[in-house]
Structure 1
């Protein structure tokens, strides 16, 4: 994949050639792995605590799906704010960074509650629908879209950057997924 280069204008990056196939393959890699995790999680493992979080394995698995769901919203944000002057994106990122504490509370408790709805029997189908949607979105992006970037709330997640390109946005959920996968205490997560 070609390297991203920041332009002097600040809101645009040059992207010589975006490897959409690699981005789509990463989406598919996770979808396949997620189903493997669901099928290998034992009955006694769903409610067991995860490693390094206050979530159970089931809640953490939903949170991993949520990482993909949030990309759908980030793409909407990118479509709207990415076309406005850079100052609008910076203002939005500052506002969202200021809201980190309530976001963290909602993120934690929301995943606990949402795992009751998108539980072990439903989260696989939800992941499938979200991945299909993201793959369709990725295929439909104009090449010029990959040259735009915008500010994001870098305090919300360690994988969010001050400024993110469209490639960064599509890469983010895989990074988030891989990070949290290591925290699962299920048999399938421990297998190579």
Structure 2
């Protein structure tokens, strides 16, 4: 059985997210951006920042995976349990980050940042060795519903688009219904 990863599919997911993000951001009025979202305590602008940040986090998550993925599984499992124990502080930071981040970057900065992070992920994915895409580690499953107990490098490249699609449905923009 061929264990190779469909890089083209991951590249397509990244491009889908990039073009969708720009469509959402560019089509939003200032009133749209200030409007509350459905099911979160954020505004649309803050949720868009949170969606962007899901991609930004992949770089440090890949670094962690490269370290813990080469250690004995019990070490990674213990680390994931420690992170799960810190879910409450993580949730606070996860909530507060977009409150300031959206204001600091603004509409234009978020669009530019999204383009940069997607371009970086494309380059990184192209540079990955096939064997490295299969490296895996345990993840804190309480931090995010899209984290699985064990995730590979290729899973991490797919993760932010799942996160993106979930939150996209919570946006209340008039130009793009959920």
The answer, yes or no, to whether TM exceeds 0.5 is yes
The Cα shift of 1:78 comes to: 0.8
Give the match for residue 46 of structure 1: 33
> In 2, Cα distance between the equivalents of 1:146 and 1:169?
9
> Per the alignment, in what secondary structure is the counterpart of residue 164 of structure 1?
strand
> In 1, Cα distance between the equivalents of 2:106 and 2:66?
31
The Cα shift of 1:147 comes to: 2.3
> Per the alignment, in what secondary structure is the counterpart of residue 160 of structure 2?
helix
Give the match for residue 151 of structure 1: 138
8 Å CA contact retained: 1:100, 1:155:
yes
Give aligned pairs, total.
178
2:33 pairs with 1:55: no
Q: How does 1:1-192 map to 2 (within 5 A)?
A: 16-190=3-177
Give the structure with the larger helix fraction: 2
8 Å CA contact retained: 2:66, 2:135:
no
* Superposition RMSD in Å: 1.3
> Per the alignment, in what secondary structure is the counterpart of residue 108 of structure 2?
coil
Structure 1 unaligned segments of length 5 or more: list them.
3-14
The Cα shift of 1:146 comes to: 2.1
8 Å CA contact retained: 2:65, 2:135:
no
8 Å CA contact retained: 1:150, 1:164:
yes
- Report the TM-score when normalising by structure 2: 0.96
8 Å CA contact retained: 1:182, 1:189:
no
> In 2, Cα distance between the equivalents of 1:27 and 1:187?
24
> In 1, Cα distance between the equivalents of 2:138 and 2:78?
9
> Per the alignment, in what secondary structure is the counterpart of residue 150 of structure 1?
strand
Q: Deviations over 1:19-47 (max 9, x none)?
A: 10100110011001101111100121111
The Cα shift of 1:56 comes to: 0.3
Structure 2 unaligned segments of length 5 or more: list them.
none
